[in-house]
Amino acid sequence: MAFRTILYDVRDGIAEIRLNRPHRLNAVVQELYSELDEALNLAETNRDARVVLLTGEGRAFSVGADLKEHKAGRTAFDRREYLRGEQVVCRRLMLLRKPVVAAVNGFALGAGAEMAIASDFVIMAKSAKLGFPEIGIGSFLGGGITYLLPRLVGLAKARELVFLGERIDGDEAVRIGLACRSYPDEGFLDQARAFALELAGKAPFSMQLAKEQLNLAAERTLDGALVAELEGMMFCSTTKDWQEGVDAFADKRPPVFRGE
């Protein structure tokens, strides 16, 4: 279907979503949040899409809120609906039943950084810059970042990133545990797609369960985790994909999972 602020395509098991306001470095407006939410719904219900790859068209992932748009004299209700849009999208990214890979190809600032971090995997180009400028402009964080960031990098580092608003590159993001991979700028999206393609070859039900349980890990007791794992193992053993995995191992061949 046609979108105005994003590009959406499904190929080789990857639902690729590109933020598509390159003339504004993919700065976010309310329509973008609405269309992104719609695209995530499409990806989740499409059996051919095993993984979501989120990136930006042009020179940036997203520089965050379109401040020029904010000067347009909107009502308090309009402002709240816009801000709620980010919360909805980031929650969808975190709870989507399929893994989400954020390929940060340039600036990822404010809401852009928050959408990336709400994804399951952050992959960055070496020269990409990620940061949280909100405190420095009298605004505040969104997208669940006060929940996610301390869990990823620790409370002390989270304070430093948020209070100072310093921008970090791909290698530094990997070093502190915020990103999982950093690739050279040249051929970056090809590397990101290769990473997503590898994920797309894994068992869909197993990935869905792993995402759910890992996201809940910090809130569960050991006994709660053990029970959830047992149920997960039992469920997977009833699927055709489980039998395919066993057969492929015995036959010494790569498995072909069908999400059945």
Place of tokens 């869990």: 151
Angle between helices 76-95 and 111-118 (to 10 degrees): 30
For residue 257, the 8-state DSSP code is -
In tens, the pLDDT along 96-132 reads 999 999 999 999 999 999 999 999 999 999 999 999 9
Place of tokens 């504004």: 24
How large is the average pLDDT for residues 25-45? 95
Measured from the Cβ of residue 15, the count of other Cβ atoms closer than 10 Å reads 25
- Name the CATH superfamily housing domain 6-200: 2-enoyl-CoA Hydratase; Chain A, domain 1 (3.90.226.10)
Rounded Cα–Cα distance for residues 214 and 243 (Å): 24
Predicted TM-score of the model (pTM): 0.93
Contact 89, 82 (CB under 8 A): no
Rounded Cα–Cα distance for residues 77 and 55 (Å): 29
Place of tokens 């985790």: 225
User: pLDDT value at position 70?
Assistant: 66
How large is the average pLDDT for residues 202-221? 93
Percent of the chain with pLDDT over 90: 89
In tens, the pLDDT along 75-99 reads 888 888 888 989 999 999 999 999 9
| 23 exposure class (CB count in 10 Å sphere: 0-12, 13-18, 19+) | exposed
Catalytic entry in 134, 198, 212, 229: 134
Which of 23, 17, 12, 79 lies closest to 49, judged by CA? 12
Measured from the Cβ of residue 247, the count of other Cβ atoms closer than 10 Å reads 11
Catalytic entry in 16, 86, 114, 198: 114
Measured from the Cβ of residue 246, the count of other Cβ atoms closer than 10 Å reads 12
Q: 158 CB contacts (<8 Å, ≥6 apart)? A: 149, 150, 152
Computed on alpha carbons and rounded to an integer, the radius of gyration of the chain in Å comes to 19
Q: Which two tokens stand for residue 39?
A: 């695209």
Q: Catalytic site residue 44?
A: no
Q: Catalytic site residue 134?
A: yes
Residue 25 has φ and ψ, to the nearest 5°, of 55, 40
Q: How far is CA 199 from the centre of its chain?
A: 14
